[in-house]
Every structure is written in C-alpha cells, then in structure tokens.
Amino acid sequence: MEKTAGDSVLKVAMPKGRIYKQASKLFREAGLLIPEDFDDSRKLIIPVPEANMEFIMAKPVDVPTYVEYGVADIGIVGKDVLMEENKDVYELIDLGIARCRMSVIGLPGWKPVMYPRVATKYPSVASQYFREGGQQVEVIKLNGSIELAPLIGLADRIVDMVETGQTLKENGLVEMETLFQVTSRLIANRVSYRLKNQAIQELCDRLGQRIAARG
C-alpha cells in the first residue's frame, strides 16, 4: 500500500483483550492522552486525536499482519506471536508488559516415547525447538485450551505460555523446559518507519523512558 509523509496520524494495531489494558496504561504513563472509556469498548477503530493516533483493535495474533501490510504503522504484539508468525516488520522496543514464558509442559512422571505428539498454538516455534534439539515429534495445532491435550490423551506434551502457573496447577500439569521469556514488543512497518520516523521515534523515546523508570 502506497504511503505518503502527509499521513500524519499514527495508526496503531492494538491487541484486543488483556494486553490492551496493560498497553494503554503504559501509553498513559508515558504521557499520551488515551481516554480510559475505551478500555472496555467493543469499537474496532478508535480515533485518539489527543495523541494524534488511531487504534486498530486486532486479534493479537493478527497484529504483525496489519503492520507488515502497512494498514497499521506500528503495533503491539507478544514475542510469542512474533516468533511464530515471522513477519517482515521492525521490532523496535521491548515494552516489558504481558510478561510470561513459552514452555514445554506435560503430566508429572511422563516417560519419553519414540515419536511423541506435541499439541500447541505455536506449531512453527515448537517444530523448530524440537528439530534443533534433535527430537522427532508430531506437532498437532490447536487454537486454545492446549492444557486439555495431555489430560485427554491427544498429546504427550504441549508447548504453551505460562504466566502465573495457575492453569497448570489446577490441571495437574508440570513445566518441563522453558523455551524463552515473552513480553510485548512495539513493532513498525518498514515504510512507515521511514515516513513517520519523527513521530515513531518520539513515541519510542517516551515509552523507553517510562519503561526504564518502571524498572
């Protein structure tokens, strides 16, 4: 999509749901005037003239797609999604929010088998991890409630996100290995980064200062 420097409003692909609340809080702390009444709104396109922005409320997994195609200049997305989707975008800063980890999980006392089945929402991440570890596995893609898979015999292990550990605890599962730590990142479209560089840099600076102050 063709862009011109005249498009001065920054279009921001925001993840709907729980990450949005953390992201909008961080933006506010960084001095951006984000109205609080949108926190529970179902509106999908939210003009934020006070901050010279427009929020595009996206399903988190779709944020890199909007940014890659340039319909959003920048976006907020988890490192988990970035690793899985592997889109052509710039990763600008680690926002330090939505902190969790990607782990291999299973039932306690699980015995290694020849060709284990691994259920996950992240087939690309999981395949790469086991391939690099020299383990042959069959990866089964699921879209949610991944913890069900070992409980009902669909898979031997799962690769999924752990935040508080509550889901594992309540379902009698244990973490076996951690693949990587996850936080949300600010990403940018490559062309927007050039054409709207000043606005994007200013935003990065404000957020960076706030993130450093948070520790």
Binding residues for ligand PRP, per CB under 6 A? 144-147, 160-167
Tokens linked to 179? 């693949």
- Distance from C-alpha of 135 to C-alpha of 68, rounded to nearest angstrom: 33
Q: Which residues, 6+ apart, have CB-to-CB distance to 123 below 8 Å?
A: 84, 139, 141
Residue nearest to ligand PRP (CB): 144
Shortest distance, position 137 Cβ to ligand PRP, whole Å: 19
Q: Which CB atom, from 10 or from 102, has the smaller least distance to ligand PRP?
A: 102
Alpha-helix residue ranges (DSSP H) falling in 75-196: 79-85, 123-132, 148-151, 166-170, 190-195
Shortest distance, position 143 Cβ to ligand PRP, whole Å: 7
Contact 93, 76 (CB under 8 A): no
Q: Which CB atom, from 93 or from 100, has the smaller least distance to ligand PRP?
A: 100
Contact 158, 152 (CB under 8 A): no
Shortest distance, position 172 Cβ to ligand PRP, whole Å: 13
Q: Which CB atom, from 96 or from 165, has the smaller least distance to ligand PRP?
A: 165
Q: Which CB atom, from 4 or from 164, has the smaller least distance to ligand PRP?
A: 164
Shortest distance, position 90 Cβ to ligand PRP, whole Å: 26
